[in-house]
Structure 1
Amino acid sequence: MTATSDTRSGLSTLDRYLPVWIGAAMLAGIALGQWIPVVGKALNAIQIGGISLPIAAGLLVMMYPVLAKVRYDRLDSVTADKRLLVSSLVLNWLVGPALMFALAWFLLPDLPEYRTGLIIVGLARCIAMVVIWNDLACGDREAAAVLVALNSVFQVIAFGALGWLYLDALPRWLGLDATDLDVSGWEIALNVAVFLGVPLAAGYATRRIGERRKGRDWYETRFLPRIGPFALYGLLFTIVVLFALQGEAIIARPPDVVRIAVPLLAYFALMWAGSFALGKGIGLGYERTATLAFTAAGNNFELAIAVAIATFGAASGQALAGVVGPLIEVPALVGLVYVSLWARRFFRAPEPQEVRP
């Protein structure tokens, strides 16, 4: 992500201390929300169409530098990889929702609100923060761009239908409690447009204009290193805002947070490990295997929180489960970045090519 690389760990000097920065951002957000409550209320009030503008701003700043690094003229090599595309679709839209449904019912049989919130999290496939985890793990940037775009299309088409299946139809068929989920297709489309469409368009336009005016060498050796650190700044800002907004609820209900965290941790570990093993098993190289694993394990917490609040209310257990999702996902997937870099030794080294900025 940054210009200074560390060949031992595969991460830049700045990125190697990411867990420290994330921990500091979490503490800063909680302190801000607790000591200056008006800040949390003000941040929560700044919304358009149910989208929190501070969170949107942080995510856009976070995603733009990574998407500006994508070599869009190489996307055809990704779209031609049917193993990768089919595997991603199966993992994201068949395995992921089914696994979260099973974990939620198995581990939270007595807590229907939290269970429903977790199922909603499982339905919202990642289209935003996954680009950061993929880049930190030295995954394939072009593949990540294609897979998150694919997820965004399926999210608009399939989210409502899967919500009906896993919250209403399937529980009824199994003799379990059913829940209605009224989801607006417009809300999902707006979420996708803001959190993927805007930074993707900006990144594409930046590369096209930069290469046309200055050439690829200048763009990748001079321009990208300058904007690279802003991905980390955007991530940390987003974490501070999330904890400032929701830290009070988390502090007030720690036993509930722990109950919600257990199935989430199991979900992230199983999805990532299973996807990574699948990528290795079907013969993908390390970079695309890492991309497959992180795009399958991550979730679109922005959409999950928005749907839970709109359907059940901001003070509901469903909304709390949605909020706990990213708070567990961030440290869990940061840890999996290090696991991924360690597991790279089990793949054959790729042929020499241009050094990535």
Structure 2
Amino acid sequence: MTTATHTSRAAPAAARRLSTLDRWLPLWIGLAMVVGLLLGRFVPVLADLLMHLGVGGISIPIALGLLVMMYPVLAKVRYDRVAAVTGDKKLLVSSLVLNWLVGPALMFTLAWVFLADLPEYRTGLIIVGLARCIAMVVIWNDLACGDREAAAVLVAINSVFQVIAFAFLGWFYLTVLPAWLGLDTQGLEISVGQIALNVLIFLGIPLLAGFASRFIGERRKGREWYEEKFLPRVGPWALYGLLFTIVLLFALQGEQVTSRPFDVVRIAVPLLIYFAVMWFVGILTGKVLGLGYARSSTLAFTAAGNNFELAIAVAIGTFGAASGQALAGVVGPLIEVPVLVGLVYVSLWLARSWFHTDPFASERVKP
């Protein structure tokens, strides 16, 4: 790839062509997490500032970081190939099943198994499971040489379903299903407008910008200039935006995370299981369906990732910034970031050992 998005020990020859910044991506991510936690712990006014600089429960600085992170990846999408993805019914149906049936049900089960005695954390975890990923997944997919066009389509589908289904699923998994099972129930107040605003900001803006960049750039300068000159210049900003976003997210509740380590561990255990299970089920499904490495990897990462921005906003808006539900939402990216970075390495290894393909030589499935 031409951007700051590949760190593969599984492909040393490719890695030697990468800059130091790219090659040591896990280190930079780890440092960003530590810096964020320390800022949240020792500069608590920063967390207050991040929450006050917000619209509809969405922190503007975090939103800017995510937009900077997503734009270069979406600018690389070949939108003329999207039609080939929409015709892949196996990919689309399996993604919908994993994201909107398996994912929420699995998180509900894990939350009750591991946090039955901690209702606030349990509720926060269930909310995380309901918020399907529409932002950071594009980075993990790109790191793993997944199918960019497929990722764009699946993220768009998740966005539509998020607007339609999130409030209903929240009511079902927090009120109806627990009542049927004789368990404690929790309410969830969330408007369709708030979810739509989240989707518009985290997907609509960067998607429109990415499409406009390719359309205008290719018309004025040609595809060769766009692919070989423009994209390498904007590519590294995906990494900069990712690191900036991680620092802010971890600073948001760094004080609570560092002052309640045992609670964080309790929340982390079901999250670790959730991310691992969803990812492996996703890539296994792709393999069984014969989707090929690129689309199988995309299916796996879109199934495992979660929209922590929405989960945190909903938890804070409904239960308060200092609530256990909000803490569970913040622990989500605390676990998701390192786990999915690790799964990028696993994905690249499986590309060679299981799918018998070079992920760097074939970054996407050609139509």
Matched, 1:175 2:182: yes
1:39 is displaced (CA, Å) by 2.9
SS in 2 for 1:315: coil
Which of 139, 150, 166 is the matching residue for 1:143?
A: 150
2:198, 2:257 → 1: CA distance?
25
Tell me the alpha carbon deviations over residues 260-309 of structure 1, each in whole angstroms, 9 at most, x when there is no partner. 00000000000000111010011011000000000000000000011111
Write out aligned runs for 1:109-258 (5 A). 109-258=116-265
1:49 is displaced (CA, Å) by 1.9
Which of 74, 79, 84 is the matching residue for 2:86?
A: 79
Tell me the alpha carbon deviations over residues 136-178 of structure 1, each in whole angstroms, 9 at most, x when there is no partner. 0000000000000000000000001111111111111111111
Residues 222 and 278 (structure 1), Cα distance of their counterparts in 2 relative to 1, 3 Å cut: same
Matched, 1:285 2:314: no
Number of aligned positions between the proteins: 356
Which of 1, 8, 11 is the matching residue for 2:12?
A: 8
SS in 2 for 1:230: helix
Matched, 1:328 2:328: no
Residues 352 and 303 (structure 1), Cα distance of their counterparts in 2 relative to 1, 3 Å cut: closer
Write out aligned runs for 1:257-272 (5 A). 257-272=264-279
1:94 alignment counterpart: 101
Q: Bigger shift: 163-172 or 288-297?
A: 163-172
2:357 alignment counterpart: 349
1:55 alignment counterpart: 62
Give 2:294's aligned amino acid. Answer: E
1:103, 1:9 → 2: CA distance?
40
Residues 309 and 298 (structure 1), Cα distance of their counterparts in 2 relative to 1, 3 Å cut: same
1:160, 1:236 → 2: CA distance?
31
Give 1:347's aligned amino acid. Answer: F
1:243 is displaced (CA, Å) by 1.8
1:22 alignment counterpart: 29
Tell me the percent identity: 72
Using structure 2 for the length normalisation, give the TM-score. 0.93
Q: Which runs of 5+ in 1 are unaligned?
A: none
1:355, 1:272 → 2: CA distance?
19
Using structure 1 for the length normalisation, give the TM-score. 0.96
2:363, 2:125 → 1: CA distance?
40
2:145 and 2:359 in contact (8 A); partners too: no
1:190, 1:54 → 2: CA distance?
16
1:348 is displaced (CA, Å) by 4.1
2:86 and 2:92 in contact (8 A); partners too: yes
1:272, 1:182 → 2: CA distance?
30
1:2 and 1:229 in contact (8 A); partners too: no
2:45 alignment counterpart: 38
1:15 and 1:136 in contact (8 A); partners too: no
1:8 is displaced (CA, Å) by 2.5
2:67 and 2:206 in contact (8 A); partners too: yes
1:190 is displaced (CA, Å) by 0.2
SS in 2 for 1:177: coil
1:35 is displaced (CA, Å) by 3.6
1:46 and 1:54 in contact (8 A); partners too: yes
Residues 49 and 74 (structure 1), Cα distance of their counterparts in 2 relative to 1, 3 Å cut: same
Q: Which runs of 5+ in 2 are unaligned?
A: none
1:86 is displaced (CA, Å) by 0.3
2:299, 2:182 → 1: CA distance?
35
1:212, 1:70 → 2: CA distance?
16
RMSD: 1.9
1:353, 1:107 → 2: CA distance?
42
